[in-house]
Structure 1
Amino acid sequence: MNAERVERIRAALEDAFAPCAVQVADESHRHVGHAGARDGRGHFAVEIVSAAFAGMAPLARHRAVYAALGTLMQTDIHALAIRALTPEEAHAAASRG
């Protein structure tokens, strides 16, 4: 079930941002027993690299990701960790790391 959710999340992000990289991780197993896990929705982490984020503040990037996910935020996702970077930022981070 969560593998399908991961693919739906990935597809929504790819459609919205045409990213050069996107990773979606299901972290639901880390939250078993958590009150939010009882409603059947999952915990996910997203790392997305797209030129669409150029000129956007971090909060605007997060809002754009939430908007792209639309109803998935109500039906499939309980919690979402987001790392949204431009290609230049991703390159700089890779060079440091």
Structure 2
Amino acid sequence: MTKEEIKALIEAGLPDARVTVYGDDGQHFEAEVVCSAFAGKPLLVQHRMVYATLGERLGREIHALRLRTRAQ
């Protein structure tokens, strides 16, 4: 999986999000996600929303994903 594929999946699941993904080894990634849908939601809920966009790829194609999320 590439960082571009991860970015596209997150953007498809959270259409108004601004997403930046880092990582070049194909398994370990870091993503910064800024999305108005995060407003008023705790950090754990924000992260779960991002994880939901990636589904079963987490733990399989994506070994590790470090997240930074915030509302815009």
2:71 to 73, 79, 86: 86
- Residue segments in structure 2 that go unaligned for 5+ positions in a row: none
Q: TM-score, normalised by structure 1?
A: 0.66
Kindly tell me the number of residue pairs found equivalent between the two proteins: 72
Deviation string for 1:60-95 (max 9, x for gaps)? 1111111111022133111111011111xxxxxxxx
Q: Calculate the aligned-residue CA RMSD, in Å.
A: 1.7
Task: Name which structure has the greater RCO, CA cutoff 8 Å, separation 6+.
Answer: 2
Q: TM-score, normalised by structure 2?
A: 0.85
Structure 1 vs Structure 2: percent identity of aligned residues? Answer: 38
- Residue segments in structure 1 that go unaligned for 5+ positions in a row: 29-40, 88-97
4+ residue stretches of structure 1 with deviation over 2 A?
Answer: none
Looking at secondary structure, tell me which structure has more helix per residue: 1
Which has the greater radius of gyration? 1
Is 1:48 matched up with 2:33? yes
